[in-house]
Amino acid sequence: MRRDLATADLREELPGIEPDRQLNDWGRSQRVEALFDGALGGFLYHYWFRVEVEGIENVPDRTGAVLAANHAGALPSDGLMVVKAVRESHPSRRSVHVTTDRVFRSVPGVGMVATKLGAVADHPANLQRLLFDESQLALVFPEGRSGPRKPINERYRLRRFDPGFVRAAGQAGAPIVPVAVVGSEESVPVLARLRPGARLPGPGPLRRLGRTLGLPVVPAVPLPAKYRIRFLEPVPPQDLASADAAEDLAQQIRALVQENLLEMVAARRSVWLG
Amino acid sequence: MSPEPSRRILITGLSSWWGGRLAQALEREPGVEAIVGIDTEDPRHELERTEFVRVDIKETFLRRIIVAAAIDTVLDTRLISDPLLASLDHVHRVNVEGTRNLLAACSGADSQVRKLVFKSSARYYGSSSDDPAFFSETLARTEPPQTRIERDIVAAEEAASEFAAARRGTTLTVVRCADVLGDDQRSSPLALLGLPVIPSLLGFDPRLQFIHEDDAIGALAHVTRHDLPGRYNAAADGVLALSEVASLLGKPVLPVLPPWGLGFAAGQLRRLGVRVPVELVRELRYGRGLDNRLLKASGFRYRYTTREAVIKLRARQRLRPLLRSGSESYRYEREVEEFLRWSPSVRTVRETARPAPDGDGDGGVDELGVTELIEIISSLEAPDLARLREYEAAHGAREAVLEALDRNLARRQSDNSDE
């Protein structure tokens, strides 16, 4: 019965699924997801953003994979739409876990709802468990905090990709699917930004959030821009020996997404009609 | 690696729930020659062959006991991880100073201790917003210890690691146990879940993980039985949200606690003498999940998932008002215990002769509690009842069970004769 613990494949020891539960061990709730989908998600996807999906066949059928997308705006509508796109148009209707900044966990309400909708804190151990142990899809925004920070006049110009996701994928042996999302920049444009570090009213965690992100000024309702989501050819998992190799691969993926974004933006005739 | 099994065992904290239950479990193992238990209070669990020494954790006494009894394995169950159980000063004395004394006693030149099992707590990892969703044994806590209890737990574990590193050939097994759901347990999460309405922090639904009492003791017995150096998380499968736990218990959750200023309020209340565990307040915000797979890979099988443990808790919470009066209480009397152990007039056959039910495997009828058995009995058919009656008469011979069996058998027979 006993095996060598150092080499044992712990994937065999994952807890079983208890059919009576509505939440999984990550705290994701089927009920809240269905509720959100019925109330808002479906409407946004089909009628408000009129999402068009290309290259869904590039998302693997069973194995774990990192979806690396560009990120814009303070509201995570692009994340929600990518999740919905995979669920709607992928033949296996896979669910995607979105990794979010750990700061959000400390904001009352926000962290709770995000967790129930499938958000996971961007801890390397979490990615390893999702990708390697559970063979799940994880959506990451490698621009990190600087993605949603860029103002409207710098739209679709990607910031540096943080190589953390490349390392996590390499460690887990998971491919990376670069994702280009057009429409998100116009739907939640950052019109202005309060100076980071400005003294803001409000209790502790909110102040901390404001300090780290710099409070953006965004429209209260996402504007109805036309969304296009393109899933690119997967980049196979690579054994990354050095930190430089990870950095290089991350910037290669960034260039790939940037190229496709510019092509998609050039091809569209209207921001709102597509 | 010391492949030799443990034969002569010292259990610290024998009078606590942990020590008492663990001693009961190990008494049934034929391979164990001697069990010595120490504590400062009388044991609360009925023990058959464990010898109890009432002693303070002082190095000189401990050293003499360890050497005289040729102890090869020390099971340290003293660690207090719950702030509700004792004052913080007492906790510090037990967790830090007590551990140091014990380790010093074990590391004497003439001590034969070659294995130390150290019961630790999941509170070692703390609870913060930067935590991973599942702590594995290799991950350190994400921020330095925030409260005194957490500091003490970390210090105690460090002392144990240093001891094992300094003494070659000693196996150190640390078991980090999640909060236990059990019968005669007292702990802050149990106190919280025992309230008619479960208060929660507005805007937070923490992920919680527990372990059933049988699994907690089973895990400690398992690492005692096998040679498993290293650190192991002991927590049941499944991490539940607080809202999920509450709905399983059939209680409403009321988000009455404000998300801010609660730590401050708890501090002020403590000044006034009202103890609100700061750890609990932190765990109500972020919760904690553990990766329990390493212990499973070592061959241990949990009998209950977290969900099942909570469902058992619900049954107990509902039955408690009915059972309170009938619960038999054990009182330790030194003279009686000594008579039973050593007098030549005592004729009972040593329990060890009986093959012990395998603590790792599936539980037999013997391991079912009386209430559980009686529940099952009413659903059985007549031939099964007769067989169970025979078995129970030969083995446990618990009166309440036999009575229930007889009653059911009589009813079945009268049913048959009616037809």
A24-49 pLDDT per residue, tens: 999 999 999 999 999 999 999 999 99
pTM over 0.90: no
Residue B410 pLDDT: 78
> How far is A90 from B27, CA to CA, in rounded Å?
58
Is residue A31 within 8 angstroms of chain B, CB to CB? no
Which residue is closest to A28 within chain B, CA to CA? B241
Identify the residue with better confidence: A76 or B244: B244
Cβ pair A25:B239 closer than 8 A = yes
Residue B323 pLDDT: 64
Give Cβ neighbours of residue A14 (< 8 Å, ≥ 6 apart): A133, A134, B293
Nearest CA-CA distance, residue B229 and chain A, Å: 10
The per-residue pLDDT for range B281-297, each reduced to its tens digit, is 888 999 999 999 999 99
Cβ pair A108:B293 closer than 8 A = no
- The whole-number average pLDDT for the span B74-79 is 94
Is residue B201 within 8 angstroms of chain A, CB to CB? yes
Residue B110 pLDDT: 87
Q: How confident is the model at residue B356 (pLDDT cuts 50, 70, 90)?
A: very low
Instruction: List CB contacts (< 8 A) between B200 and chain A.
Output: none
Cβ pair B293:A13 closer than 8 A = yes
The encoded tokens of residue B199 equal 């208060």
- The whole-number average pLDDT for the span B235-239 is 95
Is residue A4 within 8 angstroms of chain B, CB to CB? no
Nearest CA-CA distance, residue A181 and chain B, Å: 28
Position A2 pLDDT exceeds 50: no
Q: How confident is the model at residue B2 (pLDDT cuts 50, 70, 90)?
A: very low
Contact A235, B291 (CB under 8 A): no
Cβ pair A106:B240 closer than 8 A = no
- CB-nearest to B207 from A2, A27, A102 is A27
Which residue is closest to A120 within chain B, CA to CA? B133
Residue B358 pLDDT: 42
The per-residue pLDDT for range A88-136, each reduced to its tens digit, is 999 999 999 999 988 888 888 989 999 999 999 999 999 999 999 999 9
Cβ-based neighbour number of residue A25 at 10 Å:
23
Is residue A77 within 8 angstroms of chain B, CB to CB? no
Is residue A109 within 8 angstroms of chain B, CB to CB? yes
Q: What is the percentage of chain A residues whose pLDDT exceeds 70?
A: 88
Phi, psi of B20 (to 5 degrees): -60, -50
Instruction: List CB contacts (< 8 A) between B291 and chain A.
Output: 129
Nearest CA-CA distance, residue B334 and chain A, Å: 41
Position A1 pLDDT exceeds 60: no
Is residue B289 within 8 angstroms of chain A, CB to CB? yes
Is residue A101 within 8 angstroms of chain B, CB to CB? no
Cβ pair B133:A5 closer than 8 A = no
The per-residue pLDDT for range B118-156, each reduced to its tens digit, is 999 999 999 998 999 999 999 988 888 988 899 999 999
Kind of pairing between the strands at A96-100 and A176-182 = unpaired
Q: How confident is the model at residue B212 (pLDDT cuts 50, 70, 90)?
A: very high
Best of A24, A100, A106 to mutate (most B CBs within 10 Å, chain B): A106
Cβ pair B296:A102 closer than 8 A = no
Residue B405 pLDDT: 79
**Range with top average pLDDT, A8-17, B345-354, B402-411:** A8-17
Cβ pair A2:B298 closer than 8 A = yes
Query: Lowest mean pLDDT: which of A137-151, B30-44, B242-256, B316-330?
Result: B316-330
Is residue B143 within 8 angstroms of chain A, CB to CB? no
Instruction: List CB contacts (< 8 A) between B141 and chain A.
Output: none
Looking at the DSSP bridge assignments, the partners of residue A30 are: none
Which residue is closest to A9 within chain B, CA to CA? B297
Contact B200, B242 (CB under 8 A): yes
Interface of B with A in 219-258 (CB under 8 A): 226, 228, 230, 237-241, 244
Environment class of A201 (CB within 10 Å of its CB; exposed 0-12, middle 13-18, buried 19+): exposed
User: What does the angle CA B18 – CA B23 – CA B27 come to, to the nearest 5 degrees?
Assistant: 155
Interface of B with A in 311-370 (CB under 8 A): none
**Complex prediction ipTM:** 0.87
Instruction: List CB contacts (< 8 A) between A110 and chain B.
Output: 203
Cβ-based neighbour number of residue B175 at 10 Å:
23
Instruction: List CB contacts (< 8 A) between B298 and chain A.
Output: 2, 5
Cβ pair A15:B305 closer than 8 A = yes
Residue B349 pLDDT: 55
- CB-nearest to B298 from A5, A110, A111 is A5
Residue B359 pLDDT: 41
- CB-nearest to B238 from A15, A115, A205 is A15
Contact B30, B75 (CB under 8 A): no
Nearest CA-CA distance, residue B182 and chain A, Å: 22
Cβ pair B297:A109 closer than 8 A = no
Position A150 pLDDT exceeds 90: no
Residue A124 pLDDT: 93
Is residue A8 within 8 angstroms of chain B, CB to CB? yes
Identify the residue with better confidence: B3 or A71: A71
Chain CA centroid to CA B39, Å: 16
Identify the residue with better confidence: A274 or B119: B119
Q: Is the dihedral of CA A159, A164, A170, A173 positive or negative?
A: negative
Kind of pairing between the strands at B230-234 and B198-201 = unpaired
Cβ pair B244:A116 closer than 8 A = no
The three-state secondary structure class of A24 is coil
* Nearest Cα to Cα of residue A129 among B282, B307, B138, B215: B138
Give Cβ neighbours of residue B414 (< 8 Å, ≥ 6 apart): none
Instruction: List CB contacts (< 8 A) between A103 and chain B.
Output: 129
Q: Name the one residue in this structure whose structure tokens are 């050819």.
A: A233
- The whole-number average pLDDT for the span A147-166 is 86
- CB-nearest to A21 from B286, B297, B307 is B307
Q: How confident is the model at residue B277 (pLDDT cuts 50, 70, 90)?
A: confident
* Nearest Cα to Cα of residue B136 among A99, A104, A13: A13
Helix axes A243-267, A164-172, angle to 10 degrees: 110
Which residue is closest to B206 within chain A, CA to CA? A112
Query: Taking CB atoms and an 8 Å cut-off, how many pairs form between chains A and B?
Result: 103
What average pLDDT does chain B have? Answer: 84
Q: How confident is the model at residue B371 (pLDDT cuts 50, 70, 90)?
A: low
| B95-98 contact pairs (CB < 8 A, 24+) | B95/B149, B95/B152, B95/B153, B95/B155, B95/B156, B96/B152, B96/B155, B96/B156, B96/B159, B97/B57, B98/B12, B98/B57
